[in-house]
Structure 1
Amino acid sequence: MTMVHITSSSDSGVADGAASPRSALRRGARGVLAGVCGLALACTGAVAVAPAASAQTGSVSDNGFTHPDFYAPPSELPGGDPGQLIRSEPMGLAFDGLPGFWQGDAQRVMYTSIGARGGEVPVTGTYIRSSKPAPGGDRPLAVVAPGTQGAGDQCAPSRNFETGLNVATSPPSISPGYEAIAAWTLVDRGFDVLVTDYEGLGTPGQHTYVNSDAQAHAVLDGARGAIAASDGRLSPESPVVVTGYSQGGGAAAAAAEAAPDYAPDLNLKGVNASAAPLDLRATLKQVDGNLIAGVIGYAINSFLATDPSLQTVLDEELNDAGKRLLADTANQCIGDSILTYPLRSTSDFSKSGESLDQIIERRPELSELLDSQKLGEKAPQVPVRLQGNLNDDVIPYEPIKNGAASWCAGGTAVEFVTDGLPPIVPRSAINHLAPYLTNANAVNDYLVGRVLDQPAPQNCAV
């Protein structure tokens, strides 16, 4: 049983960005980060520390981190339909020896998908087989689309699930395995669970953060990969549900919209999409100046990797601090970005002193790019639970409410849920994080209802 994994891979450090925020803000950022890490650990057990060699063998990559050999894809991918299993191996789970935790066994998997640029790519993930009784008849599969982990390969959920908390000392990095909470509670309900790492998170290439198509494909192909890895335990007829929060909520919503055309072979029963960034421009505007403002770097790097022609725009608009933001965040986990770029305004990173939203307003190539990523306009053909947080300080509420109305008009059975948690500490992301925890049981109840073929709750007339 390994709880916290501490590793040292090189003697290069992570820069602290341009003009440093006040020390008080840094202390606050560290406090929130400590709370997130502590919560992830407290939900699964006590802390143990393991030496780096126990879990990480492989080569040191360009960003200074050691990446286990499993994550190096074969020189030739299988070709053919996406969702093929490339390889799998047994893996441990943090706290799996403690009573009441992880009633099942796990595999690390690599499968094929269609990436952001339209070609075949390898994607990794974690497949967990539940030993608890299945709800109903056939064993169901839940695909968990993770919330923001970061952009560096060391942030992949399939890596921090083994340890609970990945801590690297050189270069410094911290990655809490908080999505173990969602996976564990679903395993406890009798679901087999596949948690995707998404494209470029663990595997080579830039992580395709908030790219709707790439994330939808990684989720749906993850279900196919889990079926292939199950040794006959699952089949194409097995009931499948998808769930996600924040970045994962967007991925789940994208999967719901894409499934009829992209994955008609899956027996998709329903989707939960909570705090989903359905409108990226509105989301970027809300995140600007927030504790997790560094995620804007993840998004820019993601779209730059997909469309290198954007480099010209960035060269024209970003100052040296902005370029450093992109370089730093390209390999950071969310904990790193909280510590290095808390509460930063995008106006600090532009030559003109304008905010990113103001630049988008006068650059049609940027507004068109973000418009192409909008979700909530193509009605899914399965029931959806769509949750918006009224006072969310990261993901705006109105686009989610509008998405629910649009899907309802298209015939989707939508249960639109509003979390009304009052504002606590503005710009701290607390009003974004807390509903993830307080709504967990309601989400799982909804997913169980879908695999039992119960009438889907809906409030489209509200």
Structure 2
Amino acid sequence: MGVRPMRTAVVALAGVVALTACTTDEASPSPSPTTSVAAPSAPTVPSAPTGDQRGALTSREPVPDIDPAISALGATATRVVYRSTSGVDGGGSEVVGTVFTPAGPAPDGGRPVVTVGHGTTGVTDECAPSSSPTLLGTTNLVRPLLQRGYVVTVTDYQGLGTDGPHPYLEPDTAAYDLIDAVRAARNVVPDASTRWAAIGVSQGGQASWSAAEHADDYGDGLEFVGSANLSPAADLSGIVADGTVDPLSLPQKMFLPYLLEGLKVMHPELNPDDYMRGALAATPDVTLSCVVAKLPEKWTVATQLTPADTGPRTEADAERMRGWLEDIALPRNGAGGPMLVVVGDRDNLILPQWTSQAVDHACALGDVVEFDSRPGEGHADGRSVPGAVQWIADRFAGVPAPDTCPEGGTP
């Protein structure tokens, strides 16, 4: 079905814009000269959960207003808050998620579990998928998995609907969120098995890939069968090449505020003014809103951008950003099971060659990877979902995973 050019552009922008709750520092009254003031103490970091505490539920409630397409399958949904671990400071955290239980009796051995990494929705609490009957569109991915009889669990990620900032694209946090969502699902569904797979799209594709890398350590006590990573944000260091962030595609420019805010959670010293200016920097209420919000305003910002609005001010700024992006790039370690990596060859947000190079590095680590570059498809194209679901079904069925690595890497 055809789409008008402006709507296509706005939808592309909507998939890549939103990332931070804005904060302001209020001036504190000056102490009188005779008053001694104790040095401020460092914030207390909650203890990380261990053993059965990981994925333990702190609350649960049925979701009566879930997407009718889910209810039509006879499935039920439960909103949970579960315990997990921060990849930023190593402390404990609480995460909101939604657990879906399919209709009918469980098979012998229990129901396999699929943990889903959703694409970018934003970073403020109102951008939490669990606040929406469709999980802000993620039920389109949940539905075919339920039709296969799997328990499906969708994390909101840390900082969406819970205290603290959302550490956007911090891979360890994302991995812990997905793996502990499996444990949370098993606390909701008694007949859920220990066998699990991951699937994710875009931001979620990075999360599912990282979950595969942590399956053997953080996923102890569970049986990992594989991850399907669709348009994954595996390695974005290519955004900074030859000391510049130009030329970027329009979706990449609109993505830049998210990226900077995610990096700022890990690197508080980051100054966004070193990397963006003009309308992009002047309208954070627009550029950092949830991706489904303020689309006309985002289009207005997009039409005002000039080449001078994006890019590091100095070579030192460029090198600093490149180092930060390399620090969070995947792969970091070998995966604990096979992976499917899918890209669209027309993706102008996460360039196919970036992901291809990441897959080459994974192959060099000895990973089993099926790399699928799909002609004519763009970023996070829904046409890749049926094949990914079948790939997961094959892993649960014990079918040997295809491996394109021995063919000499990616095209």
The TM-score, its normalising length taken from structure 1, stands at: 0.71
- The corresponding residue for 2:41 is none
Distance 1:397 1:318, change over 3 A: closer
The alignment status of 1:242 with 2:198, answered yes or no, reads yes
Cα distance per residue 1:303-339 (max 9 Å; x no partner): 22333222xx335555474543445444x11122643
Name the CA distance, whole Å, in 2 between partners of 1:413 and 1:317: 37
Cα distance per residue 1:271-312 (max 9 Å; x no partner): 0011111112335869944247433222212222333222xx
Shift of 1:264: 2.2
Moved more, 258-267 or 439-448: 258-267
- Aligned Cα root-mean-square deviation (Å): 3.4
Quick check: 1:283–1:396 contact (8 Å CA) kept in 2?
A: no
Counterpart residue type for residue 74 of structure 2? Q
Counterpart residue type for residue 210 of structure 1? L
Alignment match of 1:103 (pick from 74, 82, 87): 74
- The corresponding residue for 1:381 is 336
Query: What percent of counterpart residues are identical?
Result: 26
Quick check: 2:342–2:384 contact (8 Å CA) kept in 1?
A: no
Name the CA distance, whole Å, in 1 between partners of 2:339 and 2:264: 31
The alignment status of 1:214 with 2:173, answered yes or no, reads yes
Between the two proteins, the alignment pairs up a number of residues equal to 371
Shift of 1:389: 1.4
Name the CA distance, whole Å, in 2 between partners of 1:381 and 1:286: 37
Quick check: 1:379–1:406 contact (8 Å CA) kept in 2?
A: no
Q: Matched residue of 2:115: which SS?
A: strand
The alignment status of 1:341 with 2:313, answered yes or no, reads no
Counterpart residue type for residue 365 of structure 1? R
The alignment status of 1:260 with 2:216, answered yes or no, reads yes
Distance 1:103 1:276, change over 3 A: same
Q: Matched residue of 1:214: which SS?
A: helix
Alignment of 1:6-21 (within 5 A): none
Name the CA distance, whole Å, in 2 between partners of 1:251 and 1:106: 22
Quick check: 2:118–2:138 contact (8 Å CA) kept in 1?
A: yes
Alignment match of 1:148 (pick from 120, 136, 141): 120
- The corresponding residue for 1:14 is none
The TM-score, its normalising length taken from structure 2, stands at: 0.79
Q: Matched residue of 2:89: which SS?
A: coil
Shift of 1:177: 2.1
Q: Matched residue of 1:222: which SS?
A: helix
Shift of 1:77: 7.0
Distance 1:78 1:110, change over 3 A: farther
Counterpart residue type for residue 214 of structure 2? A
Name the CA distance, whole Å, in 2 between partners of 1:272 and 1:138: 22
Q: Matched residue of 1:264: which SS?
A: coil
The alignment status of 1:407 with 2:365, answered yes or no, reads no
The alignment status of 1:457 with 2:405, answered yes or no, reads no
- The corresponding residue for 2:231 is 275
- The corresponding residue for 1:80 is 49
Ranges in structure 2 where 5+ consecutive residues have no aligned partner: 16-20, 24-44
Cα distance per residue 1:159-212 (max 9 Å; x no partner): 11x2x3xxxxxxxxxxx7211111111011101000010011121222222111
Quick check: 1:186–1:193 contact (8 Å CA) kept in 2?
A: yes
Quick check: 1:123–1:196 contact (8 Å CA) kept in 2?
A: yes
Q: Matched residue of 1:83: which SS?
A: coil
Name the CA distance, whole Å, in 2 between partners of 1:62 and 1:89: 30
Quick check: 1:413–1:460 contact (8 Å CA) kept in 2?
A: yes
Name the CA distance, whole Å, in 1 between partners of 2:209 and 2:11: 32
Alignment match of 2:62 (pick from 90, 98, 101): 90
Quick check: 1:293–1:342 contact (8 Å CA) kept in 2?
A: no
Distance 1:93 1:328, change over 3 A: same
Alignment of 1:154-173 (within 5 A): 154-160=126-132, 162=133, 164=134
Alignment of 1:347-386 (within 5 A): 348=305, 353=308, 355-356=310-311, 362-386=317-341
Quick check: 1:241–1:268 contact (8 Å CA) kept in 2?
A: yes
Quick check: 1:292–1:338 contact (8 Å CA) kept in 2?
A: no
The alignment status of 1:184 with 2:143, answered yes or no, reads yes
Q: Matched residue of 1:407: which SS?
A: helix
Distance 1:383 1:337, change over 3 A: farther
Q: Matched residue of 1:228: which SS?
A: helix
Counterpart residue type for residue 438 of structure 1? R
Shift of 1:343: 8.5
Cα distance per residue 1:408-431 (max 9 Å; x no partner): 232222111111116xxxxxxxx2
Distance 1:303 1:317, change over 3 A: closer
Distance 1:378 1:92, change over 3 A: same
Q: Matched residue of 1:260: which SS?
A: coil
Moved more, 444-453 or 408-417: 408-417
Q: Matched residue of 1:461: which SS?
A: helix
Q: Matched residue of 1:141: which SS?
A: strand
Name the CA distance, whole Å, in 2 between partners of 1:205 and 1:328: 21
Distance 1:411 1:100, change over 3 A: same
Name the CA distance, whole Å, in 1 between partners of 2:393 and 2:13: 32
Quick check: 1:145–1:219 contact (8 Å CA) kept in 2?
A: yes
Cα distance per residue 1:199-232 (max 9 Å; x no partner): 11121222222111221111111112212222x2
Shift of 1:80: 3.1
Name the CA distance, whole Å, in 2 between partners of 1:182 and 1:28: 21
- The corresponding residue for 1:130 is 102
